[in-house]
A and B are shown apart, each in its own frame.
Chain A
Amino acid sequence: MIEYAGHLPGLTREELRWRHVRHSAWGETVEIALPELDEAQAQALCERVRSSARARIRRMEVARIVGAIDEAIARLLDRQHPLRRKAEQLLPIVTGYDRETVRLGLTSYLKTFRRPQLLRFLAEDFANPGMLDAFQPAAKGGFLRARGPDLLLHVWAGNVPALPLWSLICGLLVKAGTVGKLASAEPLMAGWFAGLVAEIDPELGECLAIVWWKGGEEAGEAAFLRAADTVMAYGGNATLATLRAKLPITTRFLPHGHKIGFGAISRAALDSRKAPALARLAAQDVVRYEQQGCYSPQLLFVERGGMVAPREFARYLAHELAALARRHPRRQLSPEEAASIASWRAAQELRTLDGMSELLSEPADSWAVIHVEAVEALSPSGLNRTLKLVSVDSLDEVPALVAPYRSFLQTAGIAAPPAELFRLAARLGEVGISRITAIGRMTAPEAGWHHDGRFSLLDLVTMTEIEHSAEAAAEGFAPYVD
Chain B
Amino acid sequence: MTQAEIIEALLAFIALPEATEAEFEALALKLFAYQFRNNEPYRRFALQRGRTPLSVRRWRDIPPVPITAFKDLTLSCSPPEAAERVFMTSGTTQGIRGRSYHPTLAVYDRSMLVNFRRRFMKGRERLGMGILFPDETELPNSSLAHYLALARRECGTPESAVFIGANGLDLDRLLPVLAQAEAGDEPYALLGASYSFVPLMDALAARGQRFALPPGSLVLDTGGFKGQSRELAPDEFYDGLSAAFGVQRSSCINMYGMTELSTQFYDDGNAACPPVKSGPHWIRSRVVDPLTGADLPEGARGVLVHHDLAHFNCVSAILTEDAGEIVPGGFRLFGRVDGAESKGCSVAVAEFLAAARG
Instruction: Tell me the chain B residues, 297-349 only, with Cβ under 8 Å from chain A.
Output: 301, 303, 319, 321, 323, 337-349
Q: Is B292's CB within 8 Å of the partner chain A?
A: yes
Given A340-B339, A363-B291, A364-B292, CB of A353 within 8 Å of CB of B344: no
Instruction: Return the contact of A349 from the options B48, B290, B347, B356 (Cβ within 8 A).
Output: B48
Given A346-B319, A350-B69, CB of A159 within 8 Å of CB of B352: no
Q: Is A433's CB within 8 Å of the partner chain B?
A: no
Taking the closest CB of chain A, its distance from the CB of B282, in whole angstroms, is: 26
Binds B, one of A41-49, A213-221, A287-295, A415-423: A287-295
Q: Is A351's CB within 8 Å of the partner chain B?
A: yes
Neighbouring B residues of A289 by C-beta, 8 Å: 344
Q: Is B226's CB within 8 Å of the partner chain A?
A: no
Q: Is A107's CB within 8 Å of the partner chain B?
A: no
B 49-75 binary contact with A (CB < 8 Å = 1; else 0): 000000000000000001011001100
Instruction: Return the contact of B352 from the options A256, A333, A408 (Cβ within 8 A).
Output: A408
Q: Is A61's CB within 8 Å of the partner chain B?
A: no
Binds B, one of A26-34, A230-238, A461-469: A230-238
Neighbouring A residues of B301 by C-beta, 8 Å: 335
Taking the closest CB of chain B, its distance from the CB of A333, in whole angstroms, is: 8
Q: Is B351's CB within 8 Å of the partner chain A?
A: yes
Q: Is B4's CB within 8 Å of the partner chain A?
A: no
- Provide 30 A-B residue pairs closer than 8 Å at the C-beta atoms, listed in order of the A residue: A158-B343, A160-B344, A236-B341, A238-B351, A256-B345, A258-B342, A258-B351, A260-B347, A260-B352, A261-B346, A291-B342, A292-B345, A293-B344, A293-B346, A296-B346, A334-B340, A335-B323, A335-B337, A338-B290, A341-B290, A345-B291, A346-B66, A347-B66, A364-B291, A364-B292, A380-B347, A380-B349, A380-B352, A383-B346, A404-B356
Known: A185-B343, A343-B66, A345-B291. 15 other contacts (CB 8 A): A163-B344, A163-B345, A235-B345, A237-B351, A257-B347, A258-B351, A260-B347, A260-B352, A292-B346, A335-B337, A338-B291, A339-B339, A380-B348, A382-B349, A408-B352
Q: How far is the CA of A364 from the CA of B289 in the complex (A)?
A: 10
Q: Is A312's CB within 8 Å of the partner chain B?
A: no
Taking CB as reference atom, which chain B residue is nearest A349?
Answer: B48
Contact B346 A260 (CB under 8 A): yes
Neighbouring A residues of B214 by C-beta, 8 Å: none
Q: Is B44's CB within 8 Å of the partner chain A?
A: yes
Contact A291 B48 (CB under 8 A): no
Contact A291 B346 (CB under 8 A): yes
Neighbouring A residues of B41 by C-beta, 8 Å: 353
Contact A342 B342 (CB under 8 A): no
Q: How far is the CA of A327 from the CA of B349 in the complex (A)?
A: 28
Centre residue among A238, A291, A294, A346 by max chain B CB count within 10 A: A346
Q: How far is the CA of A236 from the CA of B350 in the complex (A)?
A: 11
Q: Is A475's CB within 8 Å of the partner chain B?
A: no
